[in-house]
Amino acid sequence: MSQKKPRLHLQNIIQTAAEIADKEGIEAVTMAYLAKRLAIRPPSLYNHIDGITELREKLAVYGLKKLYDKLAVATIGKAKDEAIYAFANAYLSFSRSHPGLYELTLSANLENEEHILAGNKIIDLILKVLNGYHLEKETALHAVRGLRSILHGFSSLEQKGGFKLALDLNHSLHLLIDSFILGINRYATTKIIKRSPLW
């Protein structure tokens, strides 16, 4: 008597696809290869997912939720400078541990409500981290954009092999965060005049 296969669930599909993306790259995530990894026939996948586009969208949302959870845990009980360092370390830890999944989180779909909500949760978390500096609302949003730019830029360059010099990458990151924090503290304690646009 043959052993009955375990029932296939969407969560199993997403988790397996995420493992492929992280270990073999996002280009390796295809419906055929995913079916092979799950030991099922490709048509069975279409009972759960319409195709590769929907799969990637679900992976992006899954990645954003995992990233948020990691960032939230890292910043619990911390405030101001300590919270920003913890946030930055957790962000880089995620991008290093889940390079494929991280790359997929950046494929924003402005029509996907789940993606928007998951992304907004991370933005709200950054605003909470910055709350202790008592920045004006617009300044705080600029600071959110700045911190995201630093962390994403660093993560992307690292993943693409953009850092060739034999220097400690974590030290480089901490110098960047030091500079960001100095700027935020300056904004928090000094009235900054509005400058002319760069172009």
Domain hosting residue 146, numbered range: 52-189
Q: What pLDDT, on a 0 to 100 scale, did the predictor assign at position 198? A: 52
Q: What pLDDT, on a 0 to 100 scale, did the predictor assign at position 195? A: 55
Residue 138: inside a domain, yes or no?
A: yes
Q: Taking each helix axis as running N to C, give the angle between helix 137-159 and helix 169-189, from 0 to 180 degrees, rounded to the nearest 10.
A: 170
Buried b (16+ CB within 10 A) or exposed e, 127-160: eebbebbebeeebbeebbeebeebbeebbeebee
Q: Across residues 171-197, what is the average pLDDT?
A: 80
The more confident residue out of 151 and 187 is: 151
Q: What pLDDT, on a 0 to 100 scale, did the predictor assign at position 199? A: 55
Residues 6+ apart with CB under 8 A from 100: 18, 20, 21, 22, 23, 24, 25, 26, 29
Residue 176: inside a domain, yes or no?
A: yes
Q: Across residues 58-78, what is the average pLDDT?
A: 96
- Window from 19-28, 122-131, 178-187 with minimum mean pLDDT: 178-187
Structure letter (DSSP) for residue 59: H
User: What is the number of domains present in the chain?
Assistant: 1
Token pair recorded at residue 25: 């790259």
Token pair recorded at residue 8: 């296939």
Q: What pLDDT, on a 0 to 100 scale, did the predictor assign at position 1? A: 41
The more confident residue out of 3 and 85 is: 85
Residue 126: inside a domain, yes or no?
A: yes
Residue 102: inside a domain, yes or no?
A: yes
Q: What pLDDT, on a 0 to 100 scale, did the predictor assign at position 196? A: 54
CATH number of the CATH domain containing 165: 1.10.357.10
Q: What pLDDT, on a 0 to 100 scale, did the predictor assign at position 33? A: 96
Yes or no: say if 52 and 30 are a contact pair by the CB < 8 Å rule: yes
Statement: residue 9 has pLDDT above 80:
yes
Q: In whole angstroms, give the CA distance from residue 192 to residue 182.
A: 14
Q: What pLDDT, on a 0 to 100 scale, did the predictor assign at position 2? A: 46
